[in-house]
Amino acid sequence: MTMAMALDSGLAVVVLAVAGWTIAARGTFAAVVGFVSYGLLLTLVWVRLEAVDVALTEAAIGSGLTGALLIGAAARLRAGEASPVEGPGVVLRLEIAVLSATVAVALAIAVLLLPDPAPTLAPAAAENATATGLGNPVTNVLIAFRAMDTLLEKVVLALALVGVWSLAPDRVWGGYPGPRHRSDPHGVLAFFARLLPPLGIVVGIYILWAGADHPGGAFQGGTILAAMWLLVMMAGLTDAPPVSRRWLRLVLIVGPVVFLVVGLGGLWLGDAFLAYPAAHAKPLILTIEFAMTLTIAATLGLLLAGPPERKLS
Return residues touching other proteins (CB under 8 A): 27, 29-30, 33, 78, 188-189, 191-192, 195-196, 199
Closest distance to other proteins from the beta carbon of 206 (Å): 12
123 alpha carbon, distance to own chain's centre: 28
Is the C-alpha dihedral spanning 210, 157, 148, 120 positive or negative? positive
Residue number with CB closer to other proteins (33 or 138): 33
Closest distance to other proteins from the beta carbon of 198 (Å): 13
Angle at 54 between CA 199 and CA 96, to 5 degrees: 115
Strand bridging mode 308-310 / 176-177: antiparallel
Closest distance to other proteins from the beta carbon of 197 (Å): 12
Residue number with CB closer to other proteins (71 or 172): 71
Closest distance to other proteins from the beta carbon of 30 (Å): 6
Closest distance to other proteins from the beta carbon of 123 (Å): 30
Residues 6+ apart with CB under 8 A from 76: none
Residue number with CB closer to other proteins (48 or 310): 48
Residue number with CB closer to other proteins (35 or 276): 35
Q: Which helix H or strand E contains 309, and what residues bound it? A: strand 308-310
Residue number with CB closer to other proteins (81 or 95): 81
Rounded CA gap, 222 and 297, in Å? Answer: 4
Contact 296, 222 (CB under 8 A): yes
